[in-house]
Amino acid sequence: MDNKDRLLGEYIGDSDGKLFIVVAGIHGNEKTGLIALESIFEYLNEVQPSFSGKMIGLAGNLKAIANSARYVDTDFNRIWKRQIIDGIRNNGVGGHEFHEYDELKALLDEIDSIIDCKDPSNIVFIDLHNTSSAEGMFTFTFEGDDNYRIASALHIPIITGLDKALQGTAIQYMSERGFCSIAFEGGPLGVEKSISIHEAGVWLLLEATGCINRSEIPNYEQQKALMVASTENFPKISELIYVHNIEESDQFKMNQGYVNFQKIVEGEILGVDVNGDVRSPHAGYIMMPLYQTQGDEGFFITKLVS
Ligand SMILES: [Zn+2]
């Protein structure tokens, strides 16, 4: 593993502004963000538009990306916990059992070398993902005006409460460091359109953070229209209220046909595991139903924020 492969691109603006860090491929099989960033950096470096601040693109789990797998030993987006990170920082990475700890250390080193002595409120951290179900993209962020304002530039549903229901995500750790932190679930795995969606979304986030003026964004109106059209009729802000955690021994299998933001009722049979039917403990909207073999969560449930 070579940390130089981690840097996907860099663009330094002609005036001061935010430090805009985007990570793609924290889950190695989610590649549309990597391709989208490549294309954005190509445009920026070729056209050299006026830009405030600096944009950096980083690849997440290098080995999992090479293997096109969600992860190698453990989910890389569930280990950004204070205790694990302190351990890695104090003891290096020798002797631990999970490959992802090496990736965590390397990615953190890279990020720390970029941000040194920057005011945290001037840093934006974006994490690009795909979901394994068809349709329905969304964004995760945390409470706070800047988070909401910037996330809403994506024109897709915002989900909050991640910190209460799911531990160890990269955005939560970055949010605790004081950065504006947003995860962008840009559509289904392995679908061409998800590349365009990730690309459009990152441009809109760059605009919302004041890094670039819309007049400098290629095909701005089309990019925005793509985002707006993709999520009509979905709730604007919802809160994560339940995560169905699973282990391999559960042999959980999601029932076919669920899509993001599908309404579910309490007690609805959503899947099956070794103990029989798995029923929904709450009414709400189903999110991220598991339709791939690797994953620590069977499904998520959100409810509307009134
Ligand atoms: Zn992911």
The residue type of 266 is E
CA of 126 to the centre of ligand 1 (A): 12
Which pLDDT score is estimated for 166? 85
- Degrees to nearest 5, angle at CA 28 with 19 and 194: 75
Q: Is 34 helix (H, G, I), strand (E, B) or coil?
A: helix
CA of 168 to the centre of ligand 1 (A): 13
CA of 294 to the centre of ligand 1 (A): 11
Q: How far is CA 283 from CA 5, 62, 72, 266, in A?
A: 44, 38, 34, 4
CA of 30 to the centre of ligand 1 (A): 6
Q: Which domains does the chain have, with CATH numbers?
A: 3-230 (3.40.630.10), 237-304 (2.40.50)
CA of 73 to the centre of ligand 1 (A): 15
Q: Which protein residues have a CB closer than 5 Å to ligand 1 (ion)?
A: 27, 30, 129
Q: Which two tokens stand for residue 273?
A: 């595991």
CA of 57 to the centre of ligand 1 (A): 16
Which pLDDT score is estimated for 108? 94
Q: Which two tokens stand for residue 237?
A: 């802000």
CA of 229 to the centre of ligand 1 (A): 23
Q: How far is CA 99 from CA 38, 63, 73, 92, 105, in A?
A: 26, 9, 6, 13, 10
**pLDDT in single tens digits along all 306 residues of the chain:** 566 789 999 999 999 999 999 999 999 999 999 999 999 999 999 999 999 999 999 999 999 999 999 999 999 999 999 999 998 888 766 556 799 999 999 999 999 999 977 799 999 999 999 987 766 788 999 988 889 999 999 999 999 988 888 889 999 999 999 999 999 998 888 788 999 999 999 999 999 999 999 999 999 999 999 998 877 777 888 999 999 999 999 999 999 999 888 999 999 999 999 999 999 999 999 998 999 888 889 999 999 887
Q: How far is CA 170 from CA 18, 85, 153, 182, in A?
A: 19, 11, 21, 10
CA of 178 to the centre of ligand 1 (A): 22
Q: Is 107 helix (H, G, I), strand (E, B) or coil?
A: helix
CA of 173 to the centre of ligand 1 (A): 16
Using an 8 Å Cβ cutoff, are 88 and 97 in contact? Answer: no
